[in-house]
Amino acid sequence: MDGFAVVYGKENARQILTDGIEEVSWSSGRDEIARSATVRLRNATNIKVAGMLMCFSQKVGGALYHHKNQFFHGPIIKYEQDEFTNAWEIEAREIGWYLSKNKGTRPYLKGEAGTELQRYIKSTGIDFRCPALGFNLDERYGTMAHSEIILDVLQKAYERSGYRYYVDLVRTEKSFYLQVMREGTNTKVPIFVPEQMTSSTAGYSIEETYTVVTAQKWKDDKIASAVTKTAAGAVKSMGRMEEIIEVGEDEKPETIAAQRLKVLSTAKQIKKITVRHEDHTLSGLRSGWLVLTKTDHTSKWIVVTADSSYKNGTYTVSLELERRE
C-alpha cells in the first residue's frame, strides 16, 4: 500500500498493520459526532479493545506518519478474530466517540451559543473549539451525553441561520482537538468528473421540507408570542407540513419564521454518486464537505453521507449529496 498506512497503538506501543490489510473502509454521516472505520486483515497479534486505530495517507510530502497525513484516529470498540484462518475484522470510532460515552449532570448554558458550548465541553477536559453561532442560549439541560448537547445546540443554530455544522477532528504534532465547522467550508474542494464515476443518480426529496413555519417565544411555561409564516404555493403543490421553532428571549419570532420558511419550503435536490480515484489528499473526504461535479456544467453539492474504502491502491467513495446553490 504505497502512500497509505494503518497503525495500532496501545499506550506507548505501536504496531504497523499495513502489510496484513485486505481492505480499509470508513464512513461519516450528517448529525454524527464521530466517524467510523472498519479494517479487515490477517495475522494480527495483541489487538485489544480501546486501543487506538490510526490511518495515514500521503496528503503532504515528507514522512508518511507525519501528523498532517493522519485522517483517522480513534478507539477500537469491537473486533472479531476467525480462530481457524486468523482473519480479523476491527471496528473503530473517531476519538470524539467518547463524547457519547460520558454525561453531564444538568449543565446550564447561558450566553452566546458557540461560546457557551465551547466552555462547557472544555470543562469536561476535552479541547473543543466552536465559532460564534449567532444566537444566545439560556437553557438548563437534563442529564445527558455531551454529544447530545452538542448536536442539540448545532440543530438550534441550523434552525436559526439555515447553516448546518459538524464536528471535525484536527490532529496536531502531539495531540488533537475537536473543531465545530460549518458545512461547505473545507479548504480543499474535490471536483469529480464522469470518467471517475461508476454510478450516478439524481432526484428531489421533501423529507426535510416544511411549507409552514411557526416561531414561538415562551415565558413562564406559556406562549408569550408566536408568528406563523406560510408558503401558499408550496402548500398547494406539496401539502401542509408545519415546523414549530422555539426562539430565545432576545430573538424576534417574525424574523426567525420568515428566515426558516425561505430555507425549508423548497424540495431538496439530491444526488448519489460512486467515485473511484487514487488521490491520497482526498482520504479525509467526509460529511459536511463541499464537492463539485463537472459535466457540461459545474454544480456544488454538500456531502450528507460518505462511505470510503481503500484497496489495491484505489479509493472507492459512495456519496449522498445535497445541492448547494
Cα→Cα distances 128→119, 177, 186, Å = 8, 6, 18
Cα–Cα distance, 35 to 100 (Å, whole number): 12
Domain 102-182 belongs to what architecture? Answer: 3-Layer(bab) Sandwich (3.55)
Edge-to-edge strand ranges of the sheet holding 242-247? 222-230, 212-219, 242-247
Per-residue pLDDT of the chain (325 residues; tens, 9 = 90+): 789 999 999 988 899 999 999 999 999 999 999 999 999 999 888 899 999 999 999 999 889 999 999 999 999 999 999 999 999 999 999 999 999 999 999 999 999 999 999 999 999 999 999 999 999 999 999 999 999 999 999 999 998 888 999 999 999 999 999 999 999 999 999 999 999 999 999 999 999 999 999 999 988 889 999 999 999 999 999 999 999 999 888 889 999 999 999 989 999 999 999 999 999 999 999 999 999 999 889 999 999 999 999 999 999 999 999 999 7
Cα–Cα distance, 272 to 199 (Å, whole number): 8
Cα–Cα distance, 176 to 95 (Å, whole number): 9
DSSP state string for 28-40: EETT-SS-EEEEE
Nearest by Cα to 283 from 43, 25, 76: 25
Cα–Cα distance, 124 to 197 (Å, whole number): 44
Q: Under a CB-based contact definition with an 8 Å cutoff, are residues 242 and 229 in contact? A: no
Q: What global pTM score does this model have?
A: 0.92
136 forms bridges with which residues in the sheet?
Answer: 112
- Per CATH, the number for 4-95 is 2.40.10
Cα–Cα distance, 24 to 40 (Å, whole number): 6
Q: Looking at residue 1, what is its pLDDT?
A: 72
Give the domain ranges of the chain: 4-95, 102-182, 191-205+268-324, 212-264
* Position 185, amino acid: T
Cα–Cα distance, 205 to 221 (Å, whole number): 36
Domain at 191-205+268-324, CATH class: mainly beta
Nearest by Cα to 230 from 261, 203, 255: 261
Q: Under a CB-based contact definition with an 8 Å cutoff, are residues 198 and 275 in contact? A: yes
Residue given cell 461508476 in the structure block: 198
